[in-house]
Amino acid sequence: MDIFLKTIGSINDETRLKILHFIDVNGEVCVCDIEKSFEMIQSRISRHLKILKDAGFLKVDRRGRWAYYSIRKPLDQFRQSILKEISCLDMNIPLLNKSCKVG
Amino acid sequence: MDIFLKTIGSINDETRLKILHFIDVNGEVCVCDIEKSFEMIQSRISRHLKILKDAGFLKVDRRGRWAYYSIRKPLDQFRQSILKEISCLDMNIPLLNKSCKVG
DNA sequence: TTTATATATCAAGATATATTGATATATTGT
DNA sequence: ACAATATATCAATATATCTTGATATATAAA
């Protein structure tokens, strides 16, 4: 029940829905990609990513000074059905803006 | 998006999860059945039922002085998958206590 | 028509969640 | 070692949601 509520709570927010869909569409991205694309401050993005990760939707892979987030795989049936439903929403997500300072 | 968030918001609450599952298990029940079974005050139950109804999970049928709530049918695939997931949770719901004053 | 039961809704206070700005830590380049 | 970039987390504030108690409406029985 607690895990279910954590999962549901994680998608009960417009910003997180957009971030989740953004990652679903663009694949692996780092925090500053999202920060730049969404034009939101870093602490806000970081916090939402943590919530989505703790809810089982995302995994993080640290390489160098970057943290790369992507959809966790394999994803169970229920979370898959949620991602599918989200992908059907008419949601306005920004274009990927890759502008980390060093390649 | 707004409808999705309303749907998700409606199940982002322990009390509503239990009420929803209770109705799924017991079938059509009236507000005071739930009130008595859950030992919660009427205004609280009534409010949660309205949220679940507005989110598309429940329908209400008024007969006499009673309002009978049940799972809305047919239910779309997404809401069905949510109900299925909820039914798998190890959730503690009370026994049905039918004690409306007049039959 | 008076009374009791069933339900819905509102306002106030309590609780939870989101946003911001500041700060801390880690990595890399100079 | 120092500076810059990337990320995480904390504290304060803002915003949203939940609970309660009071009140309003409707139906039915006496």
Average pLDDT, stretch A58-72?
97
Q: Residue B1 is encoded by which pair of tokens? A: 């998006």
Across the interface, do B4 and A89 touch by the CB < 8 Å criterion?
Answer: yes
Backbone angles phi, psi at A60, to 5 degrees: -125, 140
Which nucleotide lies at the shortest CA–C1' distance from B10?
A: D17
- Closest chain A residue by Cα to residue B7: A12
Tens of pLDDT, residue by residue over B41-69, are 999 999 999 999 999 999 999 999 999 99
Question: What is d(CA B100, CA B25) in angstroms, rounded to the nearest whole number?
Answer: 19
CA A24 → CA A27, A80, B49, B72, distances in Å?
6, 11, 34, 31
| Contact of A87 with A24, CB cutoff 8 Å | yes
What pLDDT score was predicted for residue B10?
98
Structural domains of chain A ordered from first start = 2-87 (1.10.10.10)
Give A2's contacts in chain B (Cβ within 8 Å).
Answer: none
B85: nearest CB among A4, A14, A89: A4
pLDDT bin (cut points 50, 70, 90) of residue A47 is very high
pLDDT bin (cut points 50, 70, 90) of residue A98 is confident
A4: nearest CB among B1, B77, B89: B89
Q: Strand D and chain A: which residues 63-92 have CB closer than 7 Å?
A: 65-68
Q: Strand D and chain A: which residues 26-45 have CB closer than 7 Å?
A: 30-32, 35, 42-43
